[in-house]
Amino acid sequence: MSDTGMTRISTAFTRARASGRATFMPYYIAGYPDLETSVAVFKALAEAGADLIEVGVPFSDPLADGPTNQMAAQMAIEQGTTVRDVLDVVARLRDEGIGIPLVLMGYYNPFLAYGIENLCADAAAAGADGFIVPDLPPDVRDGEAMRARCREHGLAFIPLLAPTSTEARIRAVARAATGFIYLVSVTGITGEQERLPADLAAFVARVRRHTDLPLAVGFGISRPEQAAQVARIADGVVVGSALVKLGRDPDAVEQIRTFVSRFATIM
């Protein structure tokens, strides 16, 4: 078993922390608006200052996602993007010299259809570093099985916590997590928000009492000033829907590069 994925994630957070900033973690959906454009976007994200990229795996029923990400996922599926295609995107990025962590974020059904053992083996071979699976709690039977396969292949299993999580739930997730923990800033779906929740700092502090793992905050962060606020209380900042929204523009890659560079310099 190689632990390359876990090492890359740990190194990304350590380097950012040593520079006095949070880890910047943009999210974009593979295959949107087409496969080649998404590859170019992922390269632009890395070049513009991303510390870690969440590579979205399209699914027809993304329950945790808002309208922007749902639309992008559906378009990627209509383009024929499969889990195998997403793994090939990761392998291409590695072949082209992208060295930052690449974490696959997707729903359980496509992963289960692919086969969890094959998925984890192929993801590790492609150069992925871990999984975020919003609809798979780590302490149910399927979650435990996927965690075990991830562990065997040196991949992080990164669970989510919501502001409504109980102390018992936080403890259970903290025990199961590897790599980092994804904190959902709001209860509900992804999408741009006018302002951050007033109790976000208290939520982050509540989780931090239970773990030494890095804590990344996502959902609703769409402007650099919001990212800067989150960076003061968390170890990582996730920006997704605001990026995905730019994906259909004719000059999407350059628009996204400019957009991301504004976040990277303010973190």
Catalytic residues: 54, 65
Q: How far apart are CA 120 and CA 108, in angstroms?
A: 13
CA distances from 83 to 119, 141, 154, 187 (A): 9, 22, 19, 28
Helix axes 35-47, 252-266, angle to 10 degrees: 30
Q: How many Å separate Cα 153 from the centre of its chain?
A: 19
DSSP notation for 224-262:
HHHHHHHHTT-SEEEE-HHHHGGGGSTTHHHHHHHHHHH
Tell the residue number behind the tokens 């950012």, with chain if given: 16
Q: Which residues pair with 132 in a beta bridge?
A: 105
CB neighbour class for 94 (10 Å; exposed up to 12, middle 13-18, buried from 19): middle
How is the beta sheet containing 156-157 ordered, strand by strand? 156-157, 130-132, 102-105, 53-56, 23-29, 236-239, 215-218, 181-184, 160-161
